[in-house]
Every structure is written in C-alpha cells, then in structure tokens.
Amino acid sequence: MQVSLAQDFAMGADPVLMAQACGIEPDDKQAEFLRSTAPRALLCCSRQWGKSFCAALAALHVAVYQAPSLIVVVSPSLQQSTELYKKISELLAKLPGAPKTMLESLTRMTLENGSRIISLPGTEKTIRGYSGAQMVIVDEASRVDDALIAGVMPMLATVKNGRFVALSTPAGKRGFFYEKWTEGGEGWERISVPASMCKRISPEFLEEQRRTLGTLMFEQEYFCMFHDSGDSAFSTALIELALRDDFDVFKPL
Ligand SMILES: Nc1ncnc2c1ncn2[C@@H]1O[C@H](COP(=O)(O)OP(=O)(O)O)[C@@H](O)[C@H]1O
Ligand SMILES: [Mg+2]
C-alpha cells in the first residue's frame, strides 16, 4: 500500500503513528517508551506487558526512518531471538509503504534503504563483532550475561544519538539490569509497568498466578519487584559477601 509523503514523514516523527499504521494501538506507557529519545532506557515491566513487542516496534522504527542504520537486538536464547525477529518481520509486512527486504535469514534482515536488523541470542560468540549500531536492544536483560551486555554497549561508541534499551522482568537482586535500575543516573530513563496497569491481563488471571507461583515469584514476574530467588538457600547479600575478599570483620547479616 502506498503512503503519502506527509504520512510517511508523520510516521517517521512519531513511532506511535507507525505502530497504528501496522494495526496496533500502543498503551500509554508503550507510547511513552516508543516516543522517548533518551539515549539509555530501562523498562522493568510485567510478563506479557509487551516488552518484546515494544522492542520490535522500536527496532523497526529506527530501521525504516533512520536509514541506513544497524539495529542489534539481543535475547537470552536462540528461540527468543528467533521469536523477536519474527515479530519484527511481521510488523514490517504490515507497515504501509515499508522498504523491501533485500536479504533475510531467520534472525537478520537487510532492507533496501540500507538498514540492517540483527537479532541474536546472548550465547552468540560473534556478537561483539558488530560496530556502529544506531540502537542496541537487550530483551529480558536480567537473564542475559552481564559480560555480554558490556560487550554490546561499545557498538554505540561511534554513532551520533545511538540508543541502548534494556527491557526485562526482574530476576533477583544482582546483575547489570538490577544495578542500573537501582542506581539510575543521568540519561538513564526508567519505565516500570506492573501487570495491574496492563489491560490485557485480567485480575482473575493474576489472582490465579499469585496462588500458583507464591508471593515472591508472583511479585517478581508481575509486579516488577526484585527479590532474592525464592528457592535459593542463600540470599544475594550472602552470596556477594562470599565472593568478596576485601572485608575485615565478618558481620552477621
Ligand atoms: N498494544 C498492544 N496491542 C495489542 N496487543 C499487544 C499490545 N502490547 C502487547 N500485545 C500483545 O501481548 C502479548 C505479550 O507481548 P510480549 O511482547 O510477548 O510480552 P513480554 O515480552 O512483555 O512478555 C503478545 O501477544 C503481544 O502481541
Ligand atoms: Mg518478551
């Protein structure tokens, strides 16, 4: 389908209009994220809120409207990176007037406007080989190896206005996502959305999940709370103490 220059310009200026053109109505918080230009963004949100979905929309918007650009999307596993790639590919197919795909595999595409989207699992050893990314997105960031996150951020080093986005549900009080979420810092935007604010998740479903998962796991998965792992015999504080060698006196926790 053809779009007018004015429509195309409007979608380029507003990712929410692009999403709507793909047949999607983003929630308020999804729209806030999509419109954000913060160079660093953390989204700590409920399961099923639409983190991967927002990651796909954000990646597509940069690929189409900031061409030619490289967008690198990282997920914890191969299956997740393939799923995320599929979401991006489906959205591209729905976008009126979208650039054609020149090259495509299960996890990467090159568009006729010169942009490339690469969706890789966190286990990928070659992930560090890319550079000059306009956008780096880490989905389920609390479950991706910290060393890998440190390895992908330099891809933004030489690009003007490059963005780093990490989306996740919490997974314990440790690791990059937890630390960055807790400390914040200039340029780091933080968006949090519990399941109670997601109209696609019913209170009945949440009540059933609370009974099934137990309070700690339920709060982690649906209410964005960082807890020590419920089934762990040792708390994070105790584990971290055991890994330190710079303390003089053992203080009971
Ligand atoms: N604004 C929206 N409109 C319609 N469906 C949505 C919207 N946001 C998310 N969804 C749907 O909700 C489901 C969960 O999204 P997903 O991105 O997989 O969640 P998460 O990664 O946060 O667990 C998917 O089926 C997705 O298409
Ligand atoms: Mg997801």
Judged by average pLDDT, the poorest of 142-146, 193-197, 200-204, 247-251 is 247-251
Atom in ligand 1 nearest the alpha carbon of residue 24: 3
DSSP characters for 68-123? S-EEEEEESSHHHHHHHHHHHHHHHHHSTTPPPEEEE-SSEEEETTS-EEEEEETT
How does pLDDT run across 181-199, given as a tens digit for each residue?
A: 999 888 899 999 999 999 9
- How many whole angstroms separate alpha carbon 182 and alpha carbon 225? 11
The pLDDT, as a whole number, for residue 186 is: 82
CA atoms within 13 A on the CB side of 107: 17
Superfamily of domain 5-242: P-loop containing nucleotide triphosphate hydrolases (3.40.50.300)
Residues 6+ apart with CB under 8 A from 124: none
170 preceded by cis ω (within 30°)?
no
How does pLDDT run across 7-25, given as a tens digit for each residue?
A: 999 999 999 999 999 999 9
Place of tokens 């992930």: 127
Residue 45 predicted with pLDDT over 80: yes
Ligand nearest to the CA of 23: 1
CA–centroid distance, residue 85 to ligand 2 (Å): 12
Ligand nearest to the CA of 25: 1
Q: Which residue has better confidence, 143 or 187?
A: 143
Other residues' Cβ atoms within 10 Å of the Cβ of residue 146: 14
The pLDDT, as a whole number, for residue 247 is: 47
CA–centroid distance, residue 157 to ligand 1 (Å): 31
The pLDDT, as a whole number, for residue 140 is: 97
Residue 103 predicted with pLDDT over 90: no
Residue 242 predicted with pLDDT over 50: yes
Residues 6+ apart with CB under 8 A from 224: 44, 45, 46, 169, 170, 192, 193, 194
Cβ of 83 below 6 Å from ligand 1: no
How does pLDDT run across 195-232, given as a tens digit for each residue?
A: 999 999 999 999 999 999 999 999 999 999 999 864 45
